[in-house]
Amino acid sequence: MRLSGRIIRGIGGFYYVYTEHGIIECRARGKFRISNIVPIVGDNVDIDTENLKDGFIINIHNRKNELVRPPVSNVDQAIITFSIVNPALNRLQLDKMIILVELNGIHPVICINKIDLVTEDVFAPLYNLYKNLGYDVIATSKFDNIGIDKLKAMIIGKTSFFTGPSGVGKSSLINCIQGTNKQEIGDLSEKLLRGKHTTRNVELIPFENGYVLDTPGFTSLNLDIDETELKYYFRDFRNYELDCRFKSCLHINEPDCGVKIAVSNGLIDKIRYSNYLNLYNELKSNKRRRY
């Protein structure tokens, strides 16, 4: 019998395919090895099964997108989760993450979690900054039960990838929206003690006609773009770069730069601009190292 489904987990050559008849344990047919395609979590596949328990993957549908770390395909949106304190927010890391997600053709959702730990005048400016740039932003707290229903509504029918630093509450949020305790949570100190070797398997959790993916948190992020293209990922610049004297202006040292004027007038957020400069320099020095 031929069925279609989605790979939700892969361990040692076995792929667990979620189908209308439940989860079927599959192996890949040799032809994938010949064409150099390795099935990954997230793939939509056709399988062949006799008993609805195990079977073979016979076809992998074209991927809409594909992430390398963690290896997962066909992601619709990334819930970029951060807290403002405990752990402290690193705005450079946040802006870098947004760009990384957009580069991969994935819709970013910015989730400011643990808002029970700060007052509104602390998180509202951040919320408004990204909201005004046109991003989907959500403020959440598991203890005060804020934003959980909104988050739930945002993930229905989609494949959502929770990402963000360790300890910000990704696993907790997934537990909250599912109403379970399936995801392992822990405090920061515990996690740091356990160290880097706690790489868990990538697993898609079927939920509300969609899927969620928990990740252990990122350590290093590499943007794979030329530094001259970075400016296109800063929406803040769009209205002001028309005022730059040069069309090729990178908004760094050029004279009559509309972006720099907007920064000094407070029309563009200063930290966003300084993150742009930091990332620009980082990309430039990475390139130098490569050659």
Ligand X SMILES: Nc1nc2c(ncn2[C@@H]2O[C@H](COP(=O)(O)OP(=O)(O)O)[C@@H](O)[C@H]2O)c(=O)[nH]1
Binding site for Zn ion (CB under 5 A): 244, 249, 251, 257, 259
Q: Measured from the CB atom, is 10 or 169 closer to ligand X?
A: 169
CB of 125 to Mg ion, least distance (A): 27
CB of 170 to Mg ion, least distance (A): 5
Which one of Zn ion, ligand X, Mg ion, none is in contact with 58 (Cβ closer than 5 to 8 A by kind)?
none
How many whole angstroms separate alpha carbon 83 and alpha carbon 118? 10
Task: Please choose, out of 21-29, 97-105, 184-192, 219-227, the segment that lies near ligand X by the rule CB under 6 A.
Answer: 184-192
Q: Measured from the CB atom, is 6 or 142 closer to ligand X?
A: 142
- Burial (CB < 10 A; 0-12, 13-18, 19+), residue 129, is middle
Strand pairing class (54-60; 44-49): antiparallel
Near ligand X by CB under 6 A: residue from 49, 113, 160, 275: 113
Q: What end-to-end distance do the CA atoms of the chain give, in Å?
A: 53
Task: Please choose, out of 90-98, 108-116, 224-232, 274-282, the segment that lies near ligand X by the rule CB under 6 A.
Answer: 108-116
Q: Measured from the CB atom, is 56 or 218 closer to ligand X?
A: 218
CB of 216 to Mg ion, least distance (A): 6
Which one of Mg ion, Zn ion, ligand X, none is in contact with 259 (Cβ closer than 5 to 8 A by kind)?
Zn ion
Q: 276, 234 in Cβ contact below 8 A?
A: yes
Q: SS3 of 26, please?
A: strand
Near ligand X by CB under 6 A: residue from 185, 250, 252, 261: 185
Return binding residues.
113-116, 164-172, 244, 249, 251, 257
CB of 142 to ligand X, least distance (A): 4
DSSP string, 11-72: ETTEEEEEETTEEEEEEE-HHHHHTTPPP-TT-EEEEEESSSSEEEEEEEPPPS-EETTTTE
Task: Please choose, out of 1-9, 89-97, 170-178, 236-244, the segment that lies near Mg ion by the rule CB under 5 A.
Answer: 170-178
How many whole angstroms separate alpha carbon 166 and alpha carbon 32? 35
* 9 DSSP assignment: E
Phi and psi at 238, nearest 5°, equal -50, -45
Q: Which amino acid is at 8?
A: I
- Cα-Cα-Cα-Cα dihedral of 250, 252, 257, 258, to 10°? 80
Near Mg ion by CB under 5 A: residue from 49, 171, 175, 275: 171
Q: Under the rule (CB under 5 A), what is the footprint of Mg ion?
A: 170-171
